[in-house]
Amino acid sequence: MRTLLNIIWIIFAGFWLFLGYVLAGVLLCIPIITIPWAVASFRTANYVIWPFGRTIVPKPTAGVGSFLGNVVWVILAGWWLALGHILSGIALCLTIIGIPMAIADFKMVPISLMPLGKEIVSTRDGAFAG
């Protein structure tokens, strides 16, 4: 079921959101100082292209640096990526088959705003106990 949801997700929203994260990552690689945010963007793009079967959990080692980095992220790219998730989620809600994808889309808004200090983990085989 996860594979089917992921394939439908890629067709209707995932590919375009993935491109948004990749574009943000490429643009953030231009000034050398923003490469850590580019890495976070590429990591999140990997999650956005295939979200079902994975979840986001806070890193236990995240601290004030992650918070400050997320403030910079929101200014540079986070707000428009979150807007993309909200708009595509609303569009997916227009069909019955799109509602599960819309829910996943809305669940991605927090990581699109604050990707630093988060980990993407598999939910298969009890890997995620939360």
Task: Write the single-letter amino acid at 129.
Answer: A
Q: How far apart are CA 98 and CA 114, in angstroms?
A: 25
**Rounded to 10 degrees, what is the CA torsion of 46, 124, 111, 48?**
30
Express each pLDDT in 20-49 by its tens digit: 999 999 999 999 999 999 999 999 999 999
What does each of the 130 residues of the chain score in pLDDT, given as a tens digit? 888 889 989 998 899 999 999 999 999 999 999 999 999 999 999 999 999 999 889 888 888 888 999 999 999 899 999 999 999 999 999 989 889 899 999 999 999 999 998 988 888 755 554 4
Q: What pTM was computed for the model?
A: 0.87
Domain boundaries, given as residue ranges, for the chain: 2-125
